[in-house]
Amino acid sequence: MKTRMQPIGNVLTKFQRVIRDLSRDLNKKIELTLEGTETELDKTLLEAIKDPLTHIVRNSCDHGIETPEERKKSGKLETGRIYIRSYHEGGQVVVDIQDDGKGLNKEKLLSKALEKGILSQERLSQLSERDIYHLIFAPGFSTAAQVTNVSGRGVGMDVVKNNIEKIGGQVELLSQLGKGMTVRLKIPLTLAIVPAMIIRTGEARYAIPQVKLVELVRVEANTSTEQIEYLQGKPMYRLRGNLLPLVNLKEVLGLSVEDGKTQSITNIVVLNAEGQMFGLIVDEIQDTADIVVKPLSQFLKSLSLYSGATVLGDGSVALILDVTGLANTVHLSAKAKEDASLAAGASDARIRSNDLQEFLLFKVNAAGKYSIPLNLVHRLEEFRSDQVEFSGAQRVIRYRGDILPIISLNAYLKFPTQTEESKNRLSVIVVRKSDKHYGIEVNDILDVCSVDANVDDSLKDRPGILGNIIMGEEVVVIVDILEVLSGERERLGQKEVKIGSNASEKAITDYDARRANFPIFFAEDTAFFRKHVTKVLQGAGYPVVTANDGKEAFEKLESSTSDVKLILSDIEMPKMNGLELAKNLRKIEKWKPVPMIALTTKFSERSVKEGKEAGFNEYLEKMNAEQLINKIDSYLLKN
Amino acid sequence: MQENSIREKKSSSTKQYSTFYIGERLYGIDVMQVQEVTRTLPITRIPLSPNYVKGLINLRGQIATAIGLRNLFELSDAANETQMNVVCRMDGVLLSFLVDKIGDVVEVDESSFEPPPDTIPESVKRFMHGVYKTAGPILSIIEVDKITTALNKKNGN
């Protein structure tokens, strides 16, 4: 607590200078006297009152204190005085800003209010003195005869009032015409009282600050239509079509979770942690209460799960949950998992993309639907099981004069495979990669669906899964078909194509070694493509640095001292698109000579022309790995 | 009243310690650092906290953090069910040390002081100021400062 309390003098002393500067600008003589600078105030509050205070002081100088001539005329000292006094009173800190200027002129205030239409004529008579003074807090109210750069700009006292009230304080005005006025700020000692929701989990009760709370959901096992689903072993809840990841508070706190007993009612507290929504499963939702936040001892601060403790009405102590800390605790594990499976590429736990993408939906031997991006699909075929031949243990099918290896997705994803053997028809998705065709065998091909949704890649429980997506009312698992293929190719003894298939072995190794010296920067917002292209590039031997959108890319490159030799970029990205990125980068001396290649799915003469004008050297198609590598080689290695 | 009279009697060469037991061992904390001694109070556990942090105690509206000295000193955990609280205030933070039994406030002579013997396990020694060879069992003096610094250090803060 003590560390949070700071003397108000830290803020007040800087007004000496503000006033010195102002009096010079305004040709007035003003002296500032500070009292009670040692009065302590919560650090956050101090921060919050800094701007309002500055404004009040500037107001006093500009409107309050008269010019030396005026002052002489009214029999005052030439030098105006401003006092700032702070002291404790009734559990609050009071800050008085007093000047000996002309004070508030009631007539002037009223006529101004009428003129601005803030007041109607008939309301005038009903106003008390206090009400009239408080007119200066009305938005857009200014009595300054002319607008100066000091005040009279119409944004002013209303903002002061709002800011002070936001932190639970009050503003009062005392004024005497011709003698001066006092602005009195009453500020609570700390921000320590917050409305909270009290919940129970296990034996103990916890408080959750209301500001973080979005809603409460109660799921009844028998009656509700919406149920808690388990996606890759993690609980999920569909909240009005949005996928809400659930977190069991018991699990987070390391309390024992009674597994066998399925509860008939699940209480979910929907929380918002800096934009990230998640549901917290608790045993019981009790009540709301205004709680007094008491900080935890210094040595418990490292427990980011709690933001403090409070004494409840019955005298027991409850911990206050820190929602952001809670989200971080939960996400860290997910992130670590992702980092392990994703050697490079995406670094965010959640990657959002707004590309409208088409997906092919199919069934495998697992609950739910699975899908792959449609643009990877070459053809859909159905084969009779007697068409299947064997090359060693590998199932193959003669397909258009070529041999089509059949890869069972069930086997790859380690789902049971029995049923597919007994079937006499095979549903096969033919995928083309590097001039070779591959047959991916699935149980059933269902549908093609076009969704504008975010691929959530924070959840994947096995290799071969890229993430999840919400389609309508369902969660669909996206299979990382490229990973499946490269995994299978290794098994089938086919080398990853490093350069055009006719290149000799020697050339490949030679290229490999040289490629390592040419780092490539890649900006792409869609997780799927970012991962794929990164893989292709790294497979070829290029070091890759990625960014999730144009803005991030620009920020990384702008400041970076890196030796990036070539920049790849998507065109359609949020925040800053590829064209802007290219234009901005071309303005920087360092990036002027660096080749830039646009990777896109959109090809029209116009877009290519636009791209070249923006500074791209080349336009390439997203999914064509060989072409990409060849092009990059031609830029970096051949000259 | 009583304290005043004791203080008057106190000569410059003696010190007063509030004593307590953990198991059979006698410990003492400078009486001026002890705010109060209370009987067992309900404790709110803090999940995920270190094992020596027993939880939070409501001390007439103030929240004190309960530290299990038995765990902190890494003594064998033959925990006594009824634990007494020795409440100390350090830098405005309330710490309540859970001990097995409360002893007397004793006045000891400086001449009987010795620094902690070398053979004392480091787990306890690092909190010790020294020992007094009193007529009864030997009194080990615990320094609250050392405990708070150790606690803060352990958590990287």
Å from B157 to nearest chain A CA?
7
So what's the pLDDT on residue A198? 94
Q: pLDDT value at position A189?
A: 65
Q: Which residues lie across from A317 on neighbouring strands?
A: A311
Tokens of A278: 């998640």
Q: Which residue has the tokens 């709370």?
A: A213
The strand pair at A180-188 and A170-176 is best described as: antiparallel
A619: left (phi over 0), alpha (psi -120 to 50) or beta: beta
Chain A: give the shortest CA distance to residue B30, in Å: 21
Residue A211 scores a pLDDT above 70: yes
What DSSP letter does each residue of A278-343 carry, written as one string? EEEEESEEEEEEEEE-BPPPGGGTT-TTEEEEEE-TTS-EEEEE-HHHHHHHHHHHHHHHHHHH-S
Task: Say yes or no for a CB contact (<8 Å) between A319 and B46.
Answer: yes
Nearest chain A residue to B90, by CA: A297
Q: Where are the alpha helices (DSSP H) in A352-494?
A: 409-412, 418-422, 481-491
Among A299, A319, A322, A333, the strongest candidate for a mutation testing the B interface, having the largest count of B CBs within 10 A, is: A299
A320 → chain B, closest CA residue? B46
Handedness of CA B118, B119, B121, B124 (dihedral sign): negative
Quote the CA–CA distance of B18 and A430 in Å, as a whole number. Answer: 82
Write the pLDDT tens digit of every residue in A471-498.
767 788 888 777 777 777 667 665 444 4
What distance in Å separates residue B86's CA from the closest CA in chain A? Answer: 17
pLDDT tens per residue, range A98-151: 988 888 888 888 887 787 777 777 777 777 777 788 778 877 676 555 555 555
Query: Any idea what the Cα angle at residue A122 is, between residues A121 and A125, rounded to 5°?
Result: 100
CA dihedral A340, A343, A345, A346 (to 10 degrees): 0
Closest CB from B42, B53, B61 relative to A300: B53
**Which of residues B66 and A152 earns the better pLDDT score?**
B66
pLDDT band at B8 (very low <50, low <70, confident <90, very high): very low
Give CA angle at B144 (B138, B149), nearest 5°: 130
Model pLDDT, residue A408? 84
Q: Encoding tokens for residue A494?
A: 């086919």
Q: How far is A92 from chain B (nearest CA, A)?
A: 20
**Tokens 């086997």 — which residue?**
A411
What single-letter amino acid sits at A13? T
Phi-psi region for residue B93, left (φ > 0), alpha (ψ -120 to 50) or beta? beta
In chain B, how many H helices and how many E strands?
Answer: 4, 12
Residue predicted with more confidence, A513 or A505: A513
**Residue A612 clears pLDDT 50, i.e. is over it:** yes
B interface with A, Cβ–Cβ below 8 Å: 42, 44-49, 53, 55-58, 61-63, 65, 91-93, 95, 148, 151-152, 154-157
Residue A192 CA to chain centroid, in angstroms? 27
pLDDT tens for A41-96 read: 878 788 888 888 888 888 888 888 888 888 888 888 888 889 999 887 755 788 99
Contact B95, B144 (CB under 8 A): yes
How near does any CA of chain A get to the CA of B79, in Å?
21
pLDDT tens digits, one per residue of A344-387: 333 333 333 344 567 788 888 888 888 887 777 777 788 887 88
Q: What is the pLDDT of residue B5?
A: 47
Long-range contacts of B68-71 (CB under 8 A, 24+ apart): B68/B98, B69/B22, B69/B27, B69/B97, B69/B98, B69/B99, B69/B142, B70/B22, B70/B23, B70/B98, B70/B100
The pTM (predicted TM-score) of the whole model is 0.42
Burial A592-624, CB ≥16 within 10 A → b, else e: eebbbbbbbeeeeeeebebbeebbbbbbbebbe
A10 forms beta bridges with none
For tokens 């390439």, the residue is A620
Computed over its alpha carbons, how large is the radius of gyration of chain A? 34
Residue of chain B whose alpha carbon sits nearest to that of A204: B44
Cα A593 to Cα A30, A494, A520, A634: the distances in Å are 59, 37, 14, 15
Q: Which of A303, A311, A316 shows the shortest C-beta gap to B49? A: A303
pLDDT band at A343 (very low <50, low <70, confident <90, very high): very low
Taking each helix axis from N to C end, the angle separating A157-166 and A43-59, rounded to the nearest 10 degrees, works out to: 160
Say whether A253 and B48 touch across the interface (CB within 8 A): yes
Please say if the pLDDT value at position B99 is more than 50.
Answer: yes
Interface of A with B (CB under 8 A): 1-2, 203-204, 253-255, 294, 296-303, 305-306, 309-311, 315-319
Residue to substitute from B41, B44, B153, B155, interface A, most A β-carbons within 10 A: B44
* A249: alpha, beta or left? (left if phi > 0; alpha if psi -120 to 50): alpha
Cβ atoms < 10 Å from Cβ of A191: 16
Which residues of B fall within a CB distance of 8 Å from A255?
47
pLDDT of residue A145: 52
Give residue-wise pLDDT tens across range A628-639. 888 888 888 765
Shortest Cα distance, chain A CAs vs residue B16, angstroms: 28
Give just the sign of the alpha carbon dihedral B29, B35, B39, B41.
negative
**Contact criterion met (CB < 8 Å) for B157 and A301:** yes
Tell if the CB–CB gap between B148 and A299 is shorter than 8 Å: yes
Structure tokens at A520: 């490539």
Buried b (16+ CB within 10 A) or exposed e, A334-350: bbeebeeebebbbeebb
- Please report the pLDDT score of residue A153 as a whole number: 45
Q: What is the DSSP letter of A386?
A: G
| Contact by Cβ (8 Å): A362, A382 | no
In the predicted model, what is the mean pLDDT of residues A447-476? 73
> Regarding beta strands A566-570 and A596-600, do their DSSP bridges make them parallel or antiparallel, or are they unpaired?
parallel
Q: Give dist(CA B90, CA A576) in Å, integer.
A: 53
Phi and psi at A447, nearest 5°, equal -165, 165
- In terms of pLDDT, which residue wins out, A541 or A624? A541
A302 to B157: CB separation less than 8 angstroms, yes or no: yes
Q: Taking 70 as the threshold, does the pLDDT of residue A174 lie above it?
A: yes
Nearest CA in chain A to B66: A297
Q: Specify the residue for token string 């047959």.
A: A439
**Does B57 sit within 8 Å of A317, measured CB to CB?**
yes
CB contact under 8 A, A309 and B63: yes
Beta-bridge partners for A97: A84, A183
Using an 8 Å Cβ cutoff, are A429 and A440 in contact? yes
The H or E element spanning position A551 is helix A550-559
Q: Could you please report the per-residue DSSP string of A573-600?
A: -SSS-HHHHHHHHHTSGGGTTS-EEEEE
Question: Coil, helix or strand for A179?
Answer: coil
Angle, nearest 10°, between helix axes A550-559 and A578-586?
20
Cα distance between residue A104 and residue A157, in whole Å? 13
Neighbours of A98 (CB within 10 A): 19
Q: Is A454 helix (H, G, I), strand (E, B) or coil?
A: coil
Contact A309 B91 (CB under 8 A): no
Pairwise CA distance, residues A432 & A485, whole Å? 10
Are B155 and A300 within 8 A, CB to CB? yes
More confident residue, A370 or A504: A370
User: Among A96-105, A322-331, A507-516, A587-596, which stretch is predicted with the lowest mean pLDDT?
Assistant: A507-516
Residue A431 has a CB neighbour count (10 Å cut-off) of 20
Gap between the Cα atoms of A405 and A426, Å rounded: 13
Q: Residue A299 is nearest to which of B44, B55, B152, comparing CB atoms?
A: B152
The helix (H) or strand (E) run that includes residue A507 is helix A505-515
* pLDDT for position A224: 61
Residue of A nearest to B45 (CA): A204
Which 3 state secondary structure label does DSSP give A114?
helix
Across-strand partners of B37?
B86
Rounded to an integer, the average pLDDT of A305-324 is 87
Has residue A500 got a pLDDT over 60? no
| Nearest CB to B45; choose among A204, A301, A302 | A204
Task: Give me the residue label for tokens 């004593």.
Answer: B19
The residue-averaged pLDDT of A506-511 equals: 52
Contacts of B48 in chain A (CB under 8 A): 253-254, 303, 305
Confidence of residue A152 (pLDDT cuts 50, 70, 90): very low
How many A×B Cβ pairs under 8 Å?
68
CA–CA dist A582, A257 (Å, integer): 53
Residue A11 has pLDDT above 70, yes or no: yes
Where does the pLDDT of residue A199 fall: very low under 50, low under 70, confident under 90, or very high at 90 and above? very high
| Best CA proximity match to A279, nearest among A243, A316, A255 | A243
pLDDT number for residue A193: 67
Contacting residues for A68 by C-beta, under 8 A, at least 6 apart? A27, A28, A29, A78, A79
Q: Measured between CA atoms, how close is B87 to chain A, in angstroms? A: 14
Residues of A within 8 A of B63 (CB-CB) are 294, 309-311, 317
Rounded Cα gap, residues A207 and A293, in angstroms: 10
Contact A299/B46, CB-based, under 8 Å? no
Q: Where is mean pLDDT largest: A505-509, B21-25, B95-99?
A: B95-99
Q: What does pLDDT average to over chain B?
A: 83
A319/B44 CB distance under 8 A: yes
Q: Which residues, 6+ apart, have CB-to-CB distance to B107 below 8 Å?
A: B6, B10, B14, B15, B16
In chain A, % of residues over pLDDT 90 = 4
- Tell me whether residues A316 and B58 touch, CB distance under 8 A: yes
Element (H, E) at A383: strand A377-384
Residue B28 clears pLDDT 90, i.e. is over it: yes
Which residues in chain B have their CB less than 8 angstroms from residue A303's CB? 46, 48-49
**How far apart are alpha carbons A434 and A293 in whole angstroms?**
62
pLDDT exceeds cutoff 80 at A293: no
Residue A614 has pLDDT above 50, yes or no: yes
